[in-house]
Structure 1
Amino acid sequence: MTIRLVLAGCGNMGYAMLSGWLKSGKLPPAAVFVVEPNDDLRKRAEALGCGAAADAAAIPADAVPGLVVIAVKPQVIRDVTAAYKRFGDGRTTFVSIAAGTPVATFEAILGHRAPIVRCMPNTPAAIGKGMMVVFSNPLVSDDARRFVADLLSASGEVATIDDESLMDAVTAVSGSGPAYIFHFIEALTLAAEKAGLPTQTAKLLAMQTVYGAASLAAESGEEPGLLRQQVTSPNGTTAAALAVLMGEERLTKLITEAVEAARLRSIELGK
């Protein structure tokens, strides 16, 4: 079978995305070739039925993949991408999930004929609940855009931006955002323990409450503000708690400061 996609890097995110593509039937294993120097990581790709090698030089000489997905850490992105320069003639679309690496970096390495898609995923993509945001350079065809969006949808929701500079804000909100939620679960768990609940019960209450609330917000179609109001009885327990969180816009200001700090750091890392 013709190689349709080359996956460069099969670490946690790369493997999660690959698994999603195969399980959803969006790609057959024989259509994917994985390049991964780590023996253990390469073997798990092979266990899924994909072709695999430790080096890009092992990709068949006559292969012209529709996509090359670069799923390696930003620190090694230049060296890794250079190995795929032979596919930079315009027939292959490149997709990068490397945080903070602009399209211009890939254009400088691959040449200015290469169609490039920059994607910012987040860790819930590992369970098919991720948020993927993409930006494409003008050389990416409509068919390639649709194919990339369809593949990424196996890992969660997909959104598109037309201004690459907004990727720093994307990174600060959805890229780093899961860590904010995890910390909120930690804080709610600790508060539950201080209120007298046993540790395991506190953990369960905190985690399931966040999960259930997020699921309700996603599935109800209602605005979060309205859902909040529906839980809040006048002068009740929820109102007492929200007076602390919303008084002087405390939580809103704190989250806004956190997102801005992450956005500015993303800009610094991209220089």
Structure 2
Amino acid sequence: MTTVNNNKLQNITGTIALAGAGKMGGAMLTGWLAQGLDPSRVVVIDPMPSAEIGALAARGVRLNPAEAPEAETLVIAVKPQMFREAGPTLKRCVGASTLVVSIMAGTTIAALQEVVGGAVVRAMPNTPAAIGRGITVAVPAPDVSTAQRAIADALLRATGAVEWVDDEALMDAVTAVSGSGPAYVFLLAEELARAGVAAGLPEALATKLARDTVSGAGELLHRSELSAATLRQNVTSPGGTTAAALAVLMGADGFGPLLTRAVAAAAERSKELAK
């Protein structure tokens, strides 16, 4: 896995077409504009844009033009189940040298090449992209040039960190770990609050304690150079309260085996969606 140095968005030339401006596509567009991309370079294709996306037209973003323009870069952020239906419209944006960046879960490079063509980069972001703290993993098709890869990296990096892999087969596991991963963390906060209520805390207090503990621990993990295992050990005094809880969570039927099965289930579903 490799990291590519960011090519500043201000240096990107040509038209960027964004197909799908929902939560993830909208977060990317907001990040691009915040980092200095000229709004007039962006064309948004979305049959039901939000009021926030519609307001960007006043800044120069072209929204649903009558004729879809040929783009230097096409970013596809539509729902995977809508992709083939939208394919003919999207294909009109793709020329011989167009870079196509897809963030659709389970949609393979081969499927993208079949439906729209172009030099394809398949990427999997996650929802913290909405606050600029996402993590995206990307894999390029063999015909993607170094310059196109740098453009894709800059566009994806507007919402957080980017890692690159060369083996597309890894994307199912990526989807299961980081793509779906925020839901696992939110479930942890949800269930920790529920357990607090069961232990006698008022619901509002249990919810705040769980929410702030999960977010605070996440921020500590983000800022610290220590491993997650070391940070866990630093909280755990021998024979103490945390050790008692971890004895349950780390048991044979505890958190580790359960999460392994959960990630495997998500990865298998990702493979099924690609069929």
Q: TM-score, normalised by structure 2?
A: 0.89
Q: 2:133 aligns with which of 129, 132, 136?
A: 129
Alignment partners' CA distance in 2, 1:207 and 1:39: 31
1:105 and 2:111 aligned: yes
- Matching of residues 82-121 of structure 1 within 5 Å: 82-111=88-117, 114-121=118-125
Q: Which residue of 2 aligns with 1:71?
A: 77
CA–CA distance in 1 between the matches of 2:138 and 2:159?
Answer: 13
Question: 1:192 offset after TM fit, Å?
Answer: 1.1
Is residue 20 of structure 1 aligned with residue 26 of structure 2?
Answer: no
Shift of 1:3: 4.5
What's the CA shift for 1:84?
Answer: 3.2
Aligned to 1:32: 42
Q: State the distance in 2 between where 1:244 and 1:40 align.
A: 46
Residue 80 of structure 1 is matched in structure 2 by 86
d(CA) in 1 for partners of 2:14 and 2:226? 44
Matched-pair contact (CA < 8 Å) for 1:217–1:224:
yes
Distance 1:178 1:47, change over 3 A: farther
* Secondary structure in structure 2 of the residue aligned to 1:116: strand
**Partner amino acid, structure 1, of 2:140:** S
Question: Which residues of 2 match residues 245-260 of structure 1 at below 5 A?
Answer: 245-248=249-252, 250-260=254-264
Q: Give the structure, 1 or 2, with the largest relative contact order (CA under 8 Å, sep 6 or more).
A: 2
Q: Hey, which of these two has a bigger chunk of helix by percent? A: 1
Unaligned runs of 5+ in 2: 1-12
Is 1:170 aligned with 2:180?
no
- Distance in 2, Cα, partners of 1:101 & 1:44: 30
CA contact (8 A) 1:34 1:45 kept: no
Letter in 1 for 2:166: D
Gaps of 5+ in 1: none
Q: Give 1:226's match in structure 2, choosing from 226, 230, 248.
A: 230
**Letter aligned with residue 47 of structure 2:** P
State yes or no: 1:241 paired with 2:251.
Answer: no
Distance 1:182 1:94 in 2: 32
| 1:265 to 2:265 alignment | no
Residue pair 2:221, 2:228 contacting (<8 A) in 1 also: yes
State the Cα RMSD in Å.
1.9
SS at match of 1:162: coil
Most deviating of 88-97 and 206-215: 88-97
Count of residues in correspondence between the two structures:
263
TM superposition score normalised by structure 1 = 0.91
SS in 2 for 1:225: helix
Letter in 2 for 1:143: A
User: Where does residue 183 of structure 1 map in the other structure?
Assistant: 187
Amino acid at match of 2:23: N
Structure 1 Cα separation of the partners of residues 109 and 232 of structure 2: 40
Change (3 A) 1:36 1:209: same
Q: Deviations over 1:2-52 (max 9, x none)?
A: 743111111121111100111122x12111111122254552442553111
Cα distance in 2 for partners of 1:45, 1:226 equals: 45
Tell me how far apart the structure 1 counterparts of residues 71 and 94 of structure 2 sit (CA, whole Å).
11
1:81, distance to aligned residue in structure 2 (A): 2.8
